[in-house]
Amino acid sequence: MRTTPKILAMVMAGGKGERLHPLTQERSKPAVPFGGKYRLIDFVLSNLVNSEIGAVYVLTQYKSQSLMEHLSQGWHFVDPRGKEFITAVPAQMRMGDAWYRGTADAIWQNINLIENHRPDLVAVFGADHVYRMDIRQMVDFHRASRADVTIATIPVEVEQASSFGVLRVDASGRILEFQEKPKNPAPMPDRPGMALASMGNYVFSTELLCRVLAEDARKESGHDFGKDILPALVSSARLFAYDFSRNEVPGRVKSEEIGYWRDVGTISSYFQANMDLKNPDPVFNMYNREWPLRTANYFDPPAKFVFDEGDRRGVALHSLICEGCILSGGVVKDSILGRNVFVHSWSHISESILLDGVDVGRHARIRRAIIDKNVRIPAGTIIGYDPEEDRRRWFVDPESGIVVIPKERGPEVKTQVYER
């Protein structure tokens, strides 16, 4: 193996994200907007590019149009040598007449991409988590451990661990047992209230990966890494757990949580992870210029705050406001506004997430809500103050009580500049 291994990344971006419904009603989970101007897939792609891993295939399937457009607008570049690329790969049924039957099957159906590229290592990463990671450090650990497979791991509370793959390891980090979403997760020996969870990010030695995928394809199986491939490999290969909490990226500020990683798989977790961003000392710092979070750039005008007349002021406090927004005499607190949001006079928005193109009419009041793209809120509408009325009119998350109003189709950029 050469001193610097040749790495190919396969990003799994076909997830339905059923627990994020209705935000995934019209898009796949990796395409869900986050933090005002980003998509969830931007996190893994930024980590790969910042880690100087430039050969990336993005495997898509479920409602992929929005995701494909985002990749085309924000992640398209041409390397004349053909060594660096980010290419979307739709499901092509290369191995038969079935769509992807699991995560392992998704790689198997595109095994030709690995064979053509001939990498030393294959990084198989998910596309729907919020985190910052220097993946080269995980690769270094993989090589130093002489591992066949390395799994990125993070401690989670035992009560939440049944949603993850749970690992049992020895003192060196070698995996002794892998349980996928167990009903009774095994706690860590030195931390009884915590379990060691898989982040769904793997580094494989190429030869082993190709062999086990071929074997899995020939038998009755769920064709899934967590359910089938990894548990079976524990006894026959060298599997190691990489401790994500030890990963250090340049530019981290003291207030930032070490090992910050969020699985935004539910409305509640998605909402809270967004709210993490707006704090004065955020636990996840988007302003790290040494490890930038990249996304598509649009030609939107600057945000604008207009009117200062008695109780009619365009004001935003403790909030993130994206390009093209106009706060025309309305107040926004503890909220995140995507691109080209228009907030009309005497309206009040608090603890809410408004995605691109939302139009909030005069005297509207919105609290603890997520409003998807292009929704127009009529004047005087009240959201988030009367649970019974909210449930009658919209979707209300049963866990958190957050109101979610689904996406509407329509023009994204408005011509109105301000109001009198």
Same CATH topology for 7-268 and 304-405: the answer is: no
Buried b or exposed e, range 277-290, using 16+ CB within 10 angstroms = bbeeebebbeebee
Burial class of residue 331 in the structure, from the number of CB atoms within 10 Å of its CB (0-12 exposed, 13-18 middle, 19+ buried): buried
Q: Which CATH superfamily is domain 7-268 in?
A: Spore Coat Polysaccharide Biosynthesis Protein SpsA; Chain A (3.90.550.10)
Q: What local confidence, expressed as pLDDT, does residue 77 receive?
A: 75
Distance CA 235, CA 223 (A): 19
Q: Which residues of the chain have pLDDT under 70?
A: 1-3, 78-80, 82, 92-99, 409-420
Assess if CATH 3.40.50.2000 describes domain 304-405.
no
Could you give the CA distance from residue 321 to residue 338 in angstroms, rounded to a whole number?
7
At 97 the pLDDT is: 56
Model pLDDT, residue 91: 75
Domain parsing of the chain, residue ranges: 7-268, 304-405
User: What span, in angstroms and rounded, lies between the C-alpha atoms of 162 and 141?
Assistant: 27
| pTM of the predicted model as reported, rounded to 2 decimal places | 0.92
pLDDT reported for residue 119: 96
pLDDT at 415: 39
Cα separation, 40 vs 277, whole angstroms = 14
pLDDT score for 269: 95
Tens of pLDDT, residue by residue over 172-181, are: 999 999 998 8
Provide the β-strand partners of residue 169: 175
Query: What pLDDT is attached to residue 353?
Result: 98
Q: Note the pLDDT of residue 95.
A: 57
3-state SS, 52-114, equals: CCCEEEEEECCCCHHHHHHHHHHCCCCCCCCCCEEEEEECCCCCCCCCCCCHHHHHHCCHHHH
